[in-house]
C-alpha cells in the first residue's frame, strides 16, 4: 500500500513537472499547423508558404529554402505572412547565401542545399526545448546567446568564458534523424534535413464540385486544431517578450 502511494505520488509529480515544463508555442501550432497531410501547398507537405516576400539579400524568392514556409506565418501581413511574431526580412540576419568563409564557417550539415536558412539557427519542432527553438542551448532566456553565434562566428567569441575549449564542443540540436532520435549532436554530425521527394504542386484554379473539393479553399471538414494559432494569436499574450511594458 505504502509503495503504491509512493508510486502514485511519483507519477503525479512526474506529470506535474512535465506539464509545468514550459511547452513551446509550436505545441499549439500542432503538427498540422505546419504540415498538412492532404492539403499541402509545398514540399515536406507544408501547410503554409509565403509567395510574396523576396529575399532582400538576393532579390529572389525564397524558393528552395524553408524560409518561405516559416515566413508564411512569421512575416508582416503586407509582405505575405500571417503577422505572427513577424521577423521582417529587411531587418533580419541574412539568409539564402552560400556563406563567405571570411564571415562565417558553417558546417555543411547545418546548411540547406549549401545555403544558410532559418533552420540553420532554429529547429522548430516541438521536441526542441531550447530558448526560441534555437539549435544551441543558450540558457533559459537566451542569456548565453554567444553559444549560438560561436557555432559559425567563433573567431569573434570568447570561447573560454562561454565554457568551451573548442567550437566542436558546442552541441547542436536536431530532430532530423528518426533513427538516432531528437537530441544534441556534435558540430560535424548534426543534420538539418533528410531530402524528401519534391512533388507538391499547386493545382491551379479548380472549381468546387461534389467529387473534388476546391483545393484553393480548404474544405471545412479538414481537421483543424481547436487552438487555431492563425485566428487566436492576436488575443493571446504568450510570451514575456511581447508583453513586457517599458517603465
Q: Which residues in this chain contact ligand HEC in the complex, by CB under 6 A?
A: 24-26, 29, 31, 33-35, 44, 48, 66-67, 69-74, 84-85, 87, 93-95, 97, 99-100, 103-104, 106, 110, 116, 118-122, 124-126, 132-134, 142, 145, 148-149, 151-153, 176, 192-194, 196, 229, 233, 236, 238-239, 241
In degrees to the nearest 10, what's the CA dihedral of 29, 145, 122, 94?
A: 120
Cα gap 16→21, rounded to integer Å: 8
Q: How far is the CB of 174 from ligand HEC (least distance, A)?
A: 9
Give the cell for residue 26. 509550436
Q: How far is the CB of 65 from ligand HEC (least distance, A)?
A: 8
Q: How far is the CB of 41 from ligand HEC (least distance, A)?
A: 11
Cα gap 125→2, rounded to integer Å: 40
Cα gap 177→155, rounded to integer Å: 30
Q: How far is the CB of 156 from ligand HEC (least distance, A)?
A: 8
222: which residues sit within 8 A by CB, 6+ positions away?
A: 36, 38, 39
Q: How far is the CB of 240 from ligand HEC (least distance, A)?
A: 9
Q: To which H or E segment does residue 161 belong? A: helix 159-162
| 6 versus 60: smaller Cβ distance to ligand HEC | 60
| 41 versus 95: smaller Cβ distance to ligand HEC | 95
| 26 versus 189: smaller Cβ distance to ligand HEC | 26
Place of cell 499547386: 202
| 8 versus 60: smaller Cβ distance to ligand HEC | 60
Place of cell 558540430: 187
Cα gap 23→15, rounded to integer Å: 13
Q: How far is the CB of 165 from ligand HEC (least distance, A)?
A: 19
| 35 versus 213: smaller Cβ distance to ligand HEC | 35
Amino acid at each position: 500500500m505504502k509503495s503504491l502511494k509512493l508510486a502514485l505520488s511519483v507519477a503525479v509529480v512526474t506529470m506535474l513537472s512535465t506539464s509545468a515544463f514550459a511547452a513551446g508555442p509550436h505545441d499549439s501550432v500542432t503538427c498540422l499547423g505546419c504540415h498538412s497531410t492532404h492539403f499541402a501547398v509545398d514540399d515536406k507537405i507544408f501547410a503554409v508558404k509565403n509567395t510574396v516576400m523576396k529575399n532582400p539579400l538576393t532579390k529572389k524568392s525564397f524558393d528552395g529554402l524553408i524560409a518561405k514556409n516559416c515566413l508564411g506565418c512569421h512575416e508582416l501581413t503586407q509582405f505575405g505572412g500571417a503577422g505572427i511574431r513577424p521577423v521582417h526580412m529587411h531587418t533580419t540576419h541574412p539568409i539564402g547565401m552560400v556563406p563567405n568563409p571570411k564571415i562565417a564557417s558553417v558546417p555543411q550539415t547545418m546548411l540547406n542545399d549549401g545555403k544558410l536558412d532559418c533552420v540553420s539557427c532554429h529547429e522548430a519542432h516541438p521536441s526542441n526545448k531550447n530558448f526560441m527553438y534555437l539549435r544551441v542551448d543558450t540558457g533559459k532566456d537566451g542569456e548565453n546567446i554567444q553559444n549560438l553565434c560561436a557555432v559559425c562566428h567563433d573567431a569573434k567569441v570568447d570561447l573560454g568564458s562561454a565554457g568551451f575549449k573548442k567550437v566542436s564542443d558546442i552541441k547542436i540540436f536536431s530532430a532530423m534523424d528518426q533513427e538516432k532520435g531528437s537530441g544534441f549532436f556534435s558540430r560535424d554530425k548534426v543534420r538539418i534535413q533528410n531530402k524528401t521527394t519534391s512533388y507538391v504542386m499547386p493545382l491551379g484554379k479548380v472549381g468546387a464540385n461534389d467529387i473534388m473539393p476546391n483545393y484553393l479553399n480548404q474544405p471545412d471538414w479538414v481537421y483543424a486544431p481547436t487552438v487555431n494559432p492563425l485566428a487566436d494569436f492576436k488575443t493571446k499574450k504568450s510570451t514575456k517578450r511581447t508583453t513586457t511594458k517599458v517603465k
